[in-house]
Amino acid sequence: MTAVMGTVMGTSLRRKEDPRLLTGEARFVDDLVLPGARWLAMVRSPEAHARITAIDATAALDTPGVEAVLTGKELREAWTQPMPCAWPVTDDMKNPVHFPVAVDEACYVGDIVAVVVASSRYAARDGAEAVDVTYERLPAVVDLEDALSDRVLVHEGLGTNRSYTWTLAPDPPAVDRAFAGAAHTVRARYVQQRLIPEAMEPRGVAVVPQPVGGEIVLYSSTQIPHILRVMVGLTLGIPEQKVRIIAPAVGGGFGSKLNVYAEELIAVALARRLGGPVRWTEERRENAVATIQGRGQIQDIELAADADGKVTAVRVQILADMGAYLQLVTPGIPLLGAFLYHGVYAIPAYSFECTGVFTTKTPTDAYRGAGRPEASYAIERAMDEMAHEIGLAPDEIRRRNYIQPEQFPYASPAGLTFDSGDYEPTLDRALELVGYEGIRKEQADRRASGSTRHLGVGMATYVEMCGLAPSRVLASLNYVAGGWESATVRLLPTGKAQVVSGTTPHGQGHETCWSMIVADKFGIDPDDVEVLHSDTAVSPLGLDTYGSRSLAVGGVAVELAAQKVLDKARLIAAHQMEANEDDLEFVGGAFQVKGSPASAVPIQALAFEAFTAHNLPDGMEPNLAEQVTFDPPNFVFPFGTHAAVVEVDEETGEIRLLDYAAVDDCGNQVNPMIVAGQLHGGIVQGIAQALWEEAVYDEDGQLLNATLVDYLVPTAAELPNFKLDHTVTPSPTNSLGVKGVGEAGTIGSAPTIINAVVDALSHLGIRDVTMPATPQRVWKLIEEAKAR
Amino acid sequence: MQVSIALNGATSEHEVEPRLLLVHYLRDVAGLTGTNVGCDTSSCGACTVLLDGMSVKSCTVLAVQADGRAVTTIEGLATNGELHPMQAAFREHHGLQCGFCTPGMVLAAVSLAAEGGAGDEAAVREGLEGNLCRCTGYQNIVAAVLDGANGNGVRS
Amino acid sequence: MITAPFDYVRADSVDHAVQLLGTHGEDAKLLAGGHSLLPLMKLRLATPSVLIDVGRLAELSYVRDGGDHVAIGALTSHHDVATSDMVATDVPLLRRVAGQIGDPQVRHLGTIGGSVVHGDPASDMPAAMLALRATFVTVGPGGQREHSVDGFFTGFLETAIGADEVLTEIRVPKVPMAGWSFQKFQRRAQDWAVVGVACVRNDTVGIGLVNMGSTSLRATAVEDALGSGASIADAAALADEGTEPVDDLNASPEYRRHLAHVLVRRALEEASR
């Protein structure tokens, strides 16, 4: 079985979302027609760290169309609280006060120092160019270890750049014993470079105060309308019920729109102050510095193994770049990986510690995978190093250490319970798909012939925790929200179904998938299901879309709500058919007395009966509409093995990706077409980290590649087709047996690529390549290796 | 100055500032918001439209440069509610997720196919080098373009 | 990103363009395809007060047989150059170079003349012009002038063309039987070359280097060495002589010099087959 059984579920139903997106009918924030709206432009600090000594708006105010220029001081009273951080990971975590517009000091390039209000898009930009800000430059601090030394303080008032140190060490003596008794140890340092998420739609905000009732409608290109609503209420002192958030069409997020941003709060404040609509659209150059960045970690990992290559302990220390401020979940990102540094392996002794430091750079936060790609990278690279140390093949060391199928549910040394898994078949299949034996032979032939085109094959098996999350577990991690999801399913009088979901899709195809779940449940056409979402007035309960949670939490909530509707419909059917409900069966969208098709009453007819309420069982409320809030009992743990074949040109350092196979297991698949699409995109983002992307800062804290000319998001021309296959190991912890898939590709692909690159160069004595493996970097390594 | 553009087959005439970019003309003046702005540096191709039938990046064209010429946007591609074969192929092959790059990607593909540049996978991959997508990893886009360009994928 | 405001005038002939340049002086810029100029203006790195649009001068968009050379109108798009049968037959290197500039959208609007007069050392077309020993025809108040490609690229984004002149034609000697190669080392297909090498070889050799200094450069030392009978390997080792490559995110000067050696060697090998 490769999919959830059902007429619709398990099929590659074409997406309901597509026609409006393909015709230009969909409305992104910048597409909204808002007569009379003023345009905002942000004046941003060009300095990484500076005191703001003067702001001269004279020239800006003389610019045609410019109405006002507001500084941080002038807007200070608009905020009843600073910008929110919802994840104080430790009780003593340092969290600098952060207002949407800097008041005295700018702490990163891009920090907002003033806001221009103008009559048009162009006038706002002209005004921003004309604002004259005088800065007194302060020293920048860019390097993480330099930051930790407190040589330069980002926030003088905190007295330190250390935000927190968080530890997960269940049994430190056991770790020490394992290392003391180890036959083999490896110790490695990996750098997770900063990445710019680069959702294709830059952020946009529009705020429309309603003419009556005092309600504020905030349209935002956000993944989290529900969380944003709470935070807008808190930071601006507006009663929550007076705030309505709408996320219209949202052009990708990858975690970067999982945040509460200054521009959202500024727009609300100014719309209220001006008594009319305002809007703002981010430019790409702005996006690079004003939207959060991802990764930014130095990882020190050590493994201990016995003589047979069984890994006995893992010890990890992370230094994580917070950037200048803590955004919504900045400090928690490394913790999402904290439990996964033993990867797919049964490693008994475990120790993890993470220190978060402030630097004068754009804040970091969630970016596709958020903590888990980092963890997967470190353990999968380190396993290759251990294999090399021991003299084992990379597949062999993995086989010797996998958690075995019979060990599930697996109590991990980090304290989690892995729901289900069977890892080795994914390795077997991935290696088969790339023709592993043949590649090894060709590799040997090329090496023997003295070729300068070195062939390498790499693999990585990953597991991740997603489907965020059991609320109680989040509580134990100091996260200040729950992890449940809400769904309402209604059968309307005419028999059409309506789903209200608390998830907030921005490319994932929830409308299609939730329709499929409901269509199967009711035996109706998916086109007869409408899915409503992303508007807090329509969907007041929800915790939004991130962390590969939507299907495993929100989709399951939909299934449970639909089941409740069906259960109620059964009672109505039994009542009207004067039958015992246990004697009824639900076949092809109708209830019938078992074995008696002639008695069938379609679900649509029951919907009408529930609506008229003329003949319902005593005490039953009219209508078929049920709401469910699902708080999952556990995370879900998707896994898989990826394998890649690369060719490295010794003369130039250029890497060509020749082949890539991914064998993933996300449990049951509701829509295999969408699963494959998520994997394709995820894989490319991981490959991009491995080969192309890095937010490069100079020592003054200037971002050197803020545009898409210089920040190398790969194009179709750089990539091959991927060979996908899957296994199906359903999760036992939810009714659909599903796991998440949004981040899996990214989690698997970066270590796969680098393992392949290192494999290609291993015979030259090269043991590691820092990401991104640029041609220059690889060439230099080869030159150094030759000189040794 | 005054511009007159044959926009999706109808004449669109407006007085514009010389610096008005074609993409902002389409979006803010003509009200056709299907053409998106993704990067500002003519890197991402989200703003791709057809100018006299050939793909161009409308963030790097002035509205005044399009004066007297024909512009086709994504809104002008479907006819009588029927998706253009290239649009249909994108849906069939799941060549879009968030959909933000999609209008530009589809129009780039239509132009590529019209020039005979969509013959095989390698050609399509090269031919789409000017369009970035962050969601799909391109694999399904490439499949869609190959299919959309095949036979009736190109409309004269 | 949005440009600063400017005035816009349309030239209806080459003479009109020259006249407008005279009227508006230094603050005016010619607008052809706009694919070099508009990006700079949107970053507000260029803020001309007047744009003179020559993009509609259809008489400057052509590929013609000039006898011993192919004559290409300055406003011919990269796309039209890349798809011209005459170019394909008589100057196949030029076809390849034009077909790899930017991306299809850029090639549809960007012009060969715009590329040449922009004088960007990271641009492929000027290096190809050097390799092919092209001649440029300009028209100014004093009439028509011809410029050899050698000496034309005078500095970073600077050429020998006068501020009051308009480039009208590019003359590229026909080399139908010559070996040729274009080696473009780049991170992504749409990117500028980290280093590029355009090479033509028949009884003589022409080699232009992309991104190896503040201007496009001729690999003179390599050409001379080959002329004196050096081997490809020995000649290619001179590829970085006289270059001053920049340091940027993609490459250090040292790496660029190394790439020049490798790419020139590969270009010569391919062109000599």
Residue A777's φ and ψ, nearest 5 degrees, are -65, -45
Pick the residue with more confidence: A361 or C44?
A361
DSSP β-bridge partners for residue B57: B48
- Write out the two tokens for A231: 């935070």
State the amino acid at position A36 in one-letter form.
G
Are A685 and A170 a contacting pair, CB within 8 Å? no
CA A432 to chain B, closest CA, distance in angstroms equals 21
Q: Rounded distance, CA B47 to CA A692, Å?
A: 24
Whether B138 and A683 lie within 8 Å, measured CB to CB: no
Residue C31 pLDDT exceeds 90: yes
A708 CB near a chain C CB, below 8 Å? no
DSSP β-bridge partners for residue A184: A305
Q: Rounded distance, CA A173 to CA A57, Å?
A: 62
Domain final residue pick, A254, A275, A290: A290
**Number of domains chain C is built from:** 3
Give the domain extent around A555.
18-24+484-630
Whether B38 and A201 lie within 8 Å, measured CB to CB: yes
Whether B138 and A24 lie within 8 Å, measured CB to CB: no
Is A122 within the bounds of a domain?
yes
State the amino acid at position A550 in one-letter form.
S
State the amino acid at position A229 in one-letter form.
R
Task: Count CA atoms closer than 13 A to A726's CA, side-chain side.
Answer: 23
| Neighbour-count burial for B69-100, b at 16+ CB within 10 Å, e otherwise | bebbbbbbbbeeeebbbbbbbbbbbbbbbbbb
Residue A91's φ and ψ, nearest 5 degrees, are -65, -25
Choose from A652, A709, A711, A718 for mutation: most chain C CBs within 10 A: A652
Is C1 within the bounds of a domain?
no
Q: With beta carbons under 8 A apart, name residues in chain A contacting C189.
A: 715, 717-718
Question: Which residues have C-beta within 8 Å of that of residue B38, sequence separation ≥ 6?
Answer: A200, A201, A202, A284, A708, B44, B45, B46, B47, B100, B101, B104, B132
Q: C200 and C167 in one domain? A: no
Q: State the average pLDDT over residues B56-72.
A: 98
Convert the pLDDT of each residue in A189-209 to its tens digit: 999 999 999 999 999 999 999
Q: Rounded distance, CA A363 to CA A291, Å?
A: 8
CA C144 to chain A, closest CA, distance in angstroms equals 37
Q: Rounded distance, CA C9 to CA B148, Å?
A: 41
Choose from C101, C103, C106 for mutation: most chain B CBs within 10 A: C103
Q: State the average pLDDT over residues A47-72.
A: 98
Is A770 within the bounds of a domain?
yes
Residue of A14, A28, A122 lying closest to B91 (CB–CB): A14
Is C107 within the bounds of a domain?
yes
Q: A745 and A642 in one domain? A: yes
Q: A489 and A439 in one domain? A: no
The answer to whether the peptide bond before residue A48 is cis (omega within 30 degrees of 0) is no
Q: A261 and A207 in one domain? A: yes
Q: What is the pLDDT of residue C7?
A: 97
The answer to whether the peptide bond before residue A393 is cis (omega within 30 degrees of 0) is no
Q: What percent of chain C has pLDDT over 70?
A: 100
A696 CB near a chain C CB, below 8 Å? yes
Convert the pLDDT of each residue in A94-122 to its tens digit: 999 999 999 999 999 999 999 999 999 99
- Neighbors of chain A with 3 or more C-beta pairs under 8 Å: B, C
Is C2 within the bounds of a domain?
no
Residue C93's φ and ψ, nearest 5 degrees, are -60, -40
Q: What is the pLDDT of residue A5?
A: 60
Within A632-671, residue ranges assigned H as helices are none
Domain final residue pick, A401, A416, A449: A401
Whether A717 and C191 lie within 8 Å, measured CB to CB: no
| Neighbour-count burial for A649-663, b at 16+ CB within 10 Å, e otherwise | bbbbbbbebbbbbbb
C269 CB near a chain A CB, below 8 Å? no
Q: A178 and A313 in one domain? A: yes
Q: What is the mean pLDDT of chain C?
A: 96
Are A748 and A376 a contacting pair, CB within 8 Å? yes
CA torsion sign, A265 to A266 to A271 to A274? positive
Residue of C185, C189, C255 lying closest to A718 (CB–CB): C189
- Write out the two tokens for A611: 């609506």
Is A411 within the bounds of a domain?
no
Burial (CB count within 10 angstroms: exposed 0-12, middle 13-18, buried 19+), residue C58: exposed
Whether C189 and A775 lie within 8 Å, measured CB to CB: no
What count of residues does chain C have? 273
Q: What is the pLDDT of residue B152?
A: 45
Residue A268 pLDDT exceeds 70: yes
What DSSP string runs through A46-100? SSSSEEEEEEE-HHHHHSTTEEEEEEHHHHGGG-SS--------STT-------S
Residue with tokens 């590799």: A443
For residue C266, what is the nearest residue in chain A, using CA coordinates? A651
A153 CB near a chain B CB, below 8 Å? no
Q: With beta carbons under 8 A apart, name residues in chain A contacting B34.
A: 23-25
Q: What is the mean pLDDT of chain B?
A: 95
Q: Rounded distance, CA A370 to CA C163, Å?
A: 54
Q: C144 and C212 in one domain? A: no
Q: What is the pLDDT of residue A76?
A: 97
Convert the pLDDT of each residue in A640-651 to its tens digit: 999 999 999 999
CATH number, residue C34: 3.30.43.10
CATH number of B85-149: 1.10.150.120
Give the domain extent around C16.
7-53
Q: Where are the domains of chain B?
A: 2-75, 85-149
Angle between the B102-114 and B85-92 helix axes, to the nearest 10 degrees? 120
Chain centre to alpha carbon of residue A194: 15
Q: C257 and C234 in one domain? A: yes
Q: With beta carbons under 8 A apart, name residues in chain C contacting B111.
A: 104, 108
Is A342 within the bounds of a domain?
yes
CA A657 to chain C, closest CA, distance in angstroms equals 13
> How big is the B-C interface in CB pairs under 8 Å?
82
CATH topology of domain B2-75: Ubiquitin-like (UB roll) (3.10.20)
Is A10 within the bounds of a domain?
no
Residue B154 pLDDT exceeds 50: no
Residue A426 pLDDT exceeds 80: yes
Q: What is the mean pLDDT of chain A?
A: 97
Domain final residue pick, A611, A630, A649: A630
Residue B12's φ and ψ, nearest 5 degrees, are -120, 115
CATH number, residue C235: 3.30.390.50
Is A207 within the bounds of a domain?
yes
Whether complex ipTM tops 0.95: yes
State the amino acid at position C237 in one-letter form.
A
- Neighbors of chain B with 3 or more C-beta pairs under 8 Å: A, C
Residue A32 pLDDT exceeds 90: yes
- Write out the two tokens for B106: 């589809």
Q: Rounded distance, CA A58 to CA A69, Å?
A: 9
Q: C135 and C35 in one domain? A: no
- Of A197, A506, A190, A231, nearest to A364 by C-alpha is A197
Q: State the average pLDDT over residues A507-524.
A: 97
Q: A393 and A248 in one domain? A: no
Q: Rounded distance, CA A497 to CA C200, Å?
A: 69
State the amino acid at position A685 in one-letter form.
Q
Convert the pLDDT of each residue in C128-146 to its tens digit: 999 999 999 999 999 999 9
Q: A706 and A671 in one domain? A: yes
Q: What is the pLDDT of residue C10?
A: 96
Q: What is the pLDDT of residue B156?
A: 32
**Number of domains chain A is built from:** 4
Q: C193 and C234 in one domain? A: yes
CATH number, residue A595: 3.30.365.10
Whether C105 and B45 lie within 8 Å, measured CB to CB: yes
pLDDT band at B151, cuts 50/70/90? low
Q: C127 and C73 in one domain? A: yes
Is C251 within the bounds of a domain?
yes
- Write out the two tokens for A736: 């659909």
